[in-house]
Structure formats: C-alpha cells, structure tokens
C-alpha cells in the first residue's frame, strides 16, 4: 500500500461527484411523481406455452442478476486497487470519506425509495405480486415464496449497483489528482497526465458496462411479468417496459456524462498547458479524441434497445396524436 502523500485532490474536483449522484435522487423523485398505479388485468390460468416462457424468463432474470453482481465485484476490486496503489494515506482517506458518505446516503435513499414506490408498484399497482402470485404456484412454489425471493434479489441487485456506481464516479473523479510537489521533468508530468487519462477511460468504460447490465436486469424482469398477462394486454404493457428502459438509459447516461465530460475537459486543459516533447512516440499526444469512443460505446450498446423501442415510440405518439 502506498504510503507517500504525493498527490492531492482539490475541492473543485471532489464537488464534481455531486451532480452525477444527484441524478439518482432526481430520477427517483420524478418516477415517484409520475408513477402509474393502475391495475393490470391478468390471466386466470397459464397455458403450456406461458409455462415454458415462465421457465425461460426466470433463467434470464437470474443470469442478468449474476452478471450484475460479477461486474460490480470487478469494479470494486479495481477501485480498491487504485486506492491502494495510486494514492497516499491523505488522498486515500478523502476519497474513502466521499465514497463512504455517498454510499451511506445512497443506502438510506434505496430503502426510503423502496417504501415510497416499491418494486411491486413500478409496473402498476400490485403488478409484481399479482404476476408472481400466478407464476409461483404454476412453477411449483406455494404462496408468496417466489415474490419474496425475487424482491430480495432485486434489492441486492440495486445495492450492488449502488456500490459499483459510487466506485466509478469517485474513481473517475480521482483522475483529477494533482501531483505534490510538481514534477521537475516535463516528461514525468506528461506520463502522469497520460496515466490519469487512461484511468478515467477505464472508469467510463466500467460505467457504460454497468449501465448496460442494469438495463438487462430491468428488461429481463419486466418482460418476465408480461407472461402473466393476456396477449393483448401484454402487447400494450410492452410500451411501458420500453419506456421504463429508455428512462433508465437516459438517467444512467446522464450520470456518466456528468462526471466523464467535466473530468475529460479538465484533463484536456491540463494537457494543453504542457509543452510538447520533441521526438515523442506517435501515440503520445494527449489532445486526442480517445475518450470520446468510450462515451460513444454507451450509445452503441444501447442502440439495439433504442432501435427496438422506436416503432413502439412512434406507434404511441401516433395514437396520442390521433386521440
């Protein structure tokens, strides 16, 4: 573990973590304000085809959750390694303080928001309880066993996402550390800035992957519930599933942009202030667009979801305009 206090992180840089974290709160508040709490009619019984869809739907939910847990674990490992190897005790303590404070507030918010709009009400009043109350006995589980197990899985998934999201935000902001004292040789300063840019890119990529995996889990369980509906109602509720996915994608993309864009801009400004090194390697310039593809990957990965939702959006807009 590094013991030398040779870096510092300004208050300005640390405050850059506030807007991304604030997006989580704002998005939850907006979803509360506009949450649809209508009743959804369900099937009385499940036919053979619906039972097979239920079996596959459960496996998709479990698979998406496992991927999320694994990715969160890897992100936390990388964050812990950075804290150990990149920073001295003073900067490490500051970063851990911000991370710990954010996690504490986030944990309180997760439990509070679960009471305000529980997962059972995110797709309509008692939608989860009604659907799993039908799917559970059909799959050999009595009472609310399936409902309780899924609620615990969803809660654990959100907590894992919260820990990992805090790590990517604080980790990305930590790329703005200053060297104390400043390097005497410009080559060392140049290498230091390149290293910080590479660290930022890693956390942007991790944030994009985390967003995609959280979307996969959300889409998996919301599509799973549609099995308990009659075909006509399931088609209509598919509009809400798509809209829910877009809402999550937009809010998650905002979180990434609010820490990645300011951080990359500051690093670019620092790079511009450095004198160019004669006979530098071809890939040495700091003022390139190598960070932009990392942000662009978010749109690339989300493109299938957004493209698949486009006909739904156009159809919904058409119906609204026609009404």
Q: Is 132's pLDDT higher than 60? A: yes
**pLDDT of res. 120:** 63
**What percentage of the chain has pLDDT greater than the value 70?**
75
H or E segment to which residue 8 belongs = strand 7-8
In a 13 Å sphere around the CA of 243, the CA atoms on its Cβ side amount to: 17
Confidence band (pLDDT; 50, 70, 90) for 288? Answer: very low
CA dist., res. 22 & res. 24, Å (int): 5
* Residue 7, strand partner residues: 179
* Residue 179, strand partner residues: 7
Residue 118 Cα distances to 41, 86, 134, angstroms = 20, 40, 19
240 vs 314, higher pLDDT: 240
Domain boundaries, the chain: 7-275+284-322
The DSSP result for 269-281, as a single string, is HHHHHSPPPTT--
CA dist., res. 29 & res. 35, Å (int): 10
Confidence band (pLDDT; 50, 70, 90) for 74? Answer: very high
In a 13 Å sphere around the CA of 1, the CA atoms on its Cβ side amount to: 10
SS3 call for 286 = coil
**pLDDT of res. 301:** 46
CA dist., res. 100 & res. 79, Å (int): 13
- Prediction pTM value: 0.82
Q: Is 239's pLDDT higher than 70? A: yes
Q: Is 107's pLDDT higher than 80? A: yes
DSSP state of 198: H
Neighbour tally for 313: CB within 10 Å: 14
Q: Mean pLDDT over residues 235-258, rounded?
A: 84
Confidence band (pLDDT; 50, 70, 90) for 247? Answer: confident
What phi and psi values does residue 21 have, to the nearest 5 degrees?
Answer: -65, -35
CB–CB of 228/42 below 8 Å? yes
Confidence band (pLDDT; 50, 70, 90) for 286? Answer: very low
Q: Which of 21-30, 98-107, 167-176, 295-304 has the lowest mean pLDDT?
A: 295-304
The tokens 């704002």 sit on which residue?
26
What phi and psi values does residue 124 have, to the nearest 5 degrees?
Answer: 120, 160
309 vs 224, higher pLDDT: 224
The DSSP result for 152-197, as a single string, is HHHHHHHHHHHHHHHHHHHHHHGGGPEESSPPSSHHHHHHHHHHHH
What phi and psi values does residue 138 have, to the nearest 5 degrees?
Answer: -65, -30
101 vs 237, higher pLDDT: 101
CA dist., res. 139 & res. 136, Å (int): 5
């Amino acid at each position: 573990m590094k013991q030398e206090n040779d870096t510092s992180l300004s208050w300005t840089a640390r405050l850059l973590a506030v807007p991304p974290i604030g997006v989580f709160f704002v998005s939850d508040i907006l979803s509360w304000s506009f949450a649809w709490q209508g009743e959804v009619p369900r099937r009385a019984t499940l036919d053979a085809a619906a039972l097979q869809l239920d079996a596959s739907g459960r496996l998709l939910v479990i698979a998406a959750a496992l991927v999320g847990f694994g990715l969160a674990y890897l992100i936390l490992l990388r964050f812990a390694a950075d804290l150990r190897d990149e920073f001295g005790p003073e900067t490490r303590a500051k970063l851990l303080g911000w991370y710990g404070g954010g996690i504490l507030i986030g944990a309180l918010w997760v439990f509070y928001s679960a009471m305000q709009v529980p997962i059972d009400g995110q797709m309509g009043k008692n939608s989860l309880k009604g659907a799993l109350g039908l799917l559970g006995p059909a799959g050999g589980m009595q009472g609310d066993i399936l409902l309780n197990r899924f609620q615990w899985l969803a809660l654990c998934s959100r907590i894992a996402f919260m820990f990992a999201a805090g790590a990517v935000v604080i980790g990305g902001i930590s790329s703005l550390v200053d060297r104390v004292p400043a390097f005497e040789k410009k080559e060392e300063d140049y290498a230091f800035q390149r290293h910080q840019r590479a660290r930022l890119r890693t956390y942007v990529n991790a944030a994009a992957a985390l967003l995609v995996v959280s979307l996969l889990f959300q889409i998996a369980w919301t599509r799973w519930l549609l099995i308990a509906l009659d075909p006509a109602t399931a088609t209509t509720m598919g509009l809400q599933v798509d809209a829910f996915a877009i809402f999550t994608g937009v809010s998650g993309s905002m979180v990434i942009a609010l820490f990645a864009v300011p951080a990359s801009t500051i690093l670019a400004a620092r790079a511009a202030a450095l004198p160019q090194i004669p006979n530098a390697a071809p890939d040495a310039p700091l003022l390139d667009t190598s960070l932009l593809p990392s942000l662009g990957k978010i749109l690339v990965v989300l493109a299938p979801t957004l493209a698949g939702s486009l006909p739904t959006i156009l159809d919904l807009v058409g119906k609204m305009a026609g009404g």
